[in-house]
Amino acid sequence: MSKSFSVSTPALFSFELCMDFLRRSPKELLHRCDEDGVVKALHLQGEDILFRVTQSGKDQLSIRIVEGTLTPERRSALSEYVNQWFDLRTDLNPFYKSVKQDPLLGELVRKYRGYRIVGQPDLYESLVWAVLGQQINLSFAYTLKGRFVETYGRKLHHDGQDHYIFPSFGDVAQLDPLHLLPLQFSRQKAQYTVNISKAFAEGQVQPHLLSKLPLAEAKEELMRIKGVGNWTANYALMKTFRYPDAFPLEDAGLHNAIRNRMGLVQKPTLGRVKSLFKKYRGWEAYATLYLWRSL
């Protein structure tokens, strides 16, 4: 069987802009970018595989298995993964039309035409990553994630390079939070990380059930975990299940972007952000994405 196959891409999709996002930190261990594409390791149906995504033609992505076998089941799972990763099923036309004249977003959607939310298909990884990023700069967050992944994740060697797979919640659930302190986790981050892992391991959070709930209820479920507040729940639901109306309202970066674009001296209040976002109803996640991009 062939080692590669194609996935077709919609109108208004820019692989390059999504690649820019994937390239944003040199400390990222969970995928590796080069000039043409991205390589990622994944645990899929009982086997660790390594695959590479590149653009092939105007409206297609090519997926090639670098290590592992490509069965028909795996092919369809990978195709689904890539669709979800790059959000290929969303039609951006209605959004672009509605913000054409918008003072905050009009210019941004023209400048970053085709940019899509690069998702995080794994809810567990989304939540842990959000906790690691709480209240610290992104660079340090990547340092913490790198140590966590190197210490508790799995490693795939290929062609002289290491590729990492995110730790499993079952393994992390058994850790005493104290074990994470040497990685320079704060006590809080350590406790929150183990809390999340336990919630998954003990079945309190079941992603496939959660994804069927309305946003408010899904958020409520996630926020029962100590360490997952409104910001984190929104962030994870936006990145993993792509609730179009989920967005981290309290996000400092979002506030800075609004301040910059509106020429404000101070960051907007929560009420102001809420009211500004009313006109983006149903596209809050994408409005947030483009504002983040402007930073």
Partner DNA sequence: CGCCAGGTTAGAG
Partner DNA sequence: CTCTAACATGGC
Residues lying near DNA in the complex (CB under 7 A) are found at 133-141, 143, 184, 186-190, 223, 225-233, 235, 239, 248, 250-253, 255-256, 267, 292
Q: How far is the CB of 259 from DNA (least distance, A)?
A: 9
Smallest gap from Cβ 208 to DNA, in A, equals 23
Q: Of 156 and 183, which has the nearer Cβ to DNA? A: 183
β-pair partners for 32:
39
Nearer to DNA, 18 or 156 (CB): 18
Provide, rounded to whole angstroms, the least separation between the CB of residue 265 and DNA: 12
**Helices 187-201 & 123-133, crossing angle to 10 degrees?**
170
In whole angstroms, what is the distance from residue 10 CA to residue 292 CA?
A: 23
CB closer to DNA out of 113 and 224: 224
Query: CA Rg, the chain, in Å?
Result: 19
State the nearest-atom distance from the C-beta of 213 to DNA, in Å.
Answer: 18
Which H helix or E strand runs over 292? helix 284-293
Q: Rounded to an integer, what distance in angstroms lies between the CA atom of residue 16 and that of residue 28? A: 18
Please name the residues in contact with 140: beta carbons below 8 A apart, sequence gap of 6 or more.
none
Give the nearer residue to DNA in terms of CB position, either 231 or 290.
231
**Smallest gap, in angstroms, from Cβ of residue 184 to DNA?**
5
Give the separation between CA 217 and CA 51, rounded to whole angstroms: 35
Burial of 159 (0-12, 13-18, 19+ CB in 10 A): exposed
Nearer to DNA, 63 or 172 (CB): 172
Shortest Å distance, C-beta 231 to DNA: 3
The answer to whether 15 and 55 have CB atoms below 8 angstroms apart is: yes
Nearer to DNA, 93 or 275 (CB): 275
CB of 155 to DNA, least distance (A): 24
Number of alpha carbons in the 13 Å side-chain half-sphere of residue 238: 23
Using CA atoms, how far apart are residues 149 and 12, in angstroms rounded to an integer?
34
Q: By C-beta, is 42 or 144 nearer to DNA?
A: 144
Q: What are phi and psi of 156, to 5 degrees?
A: -120, 120
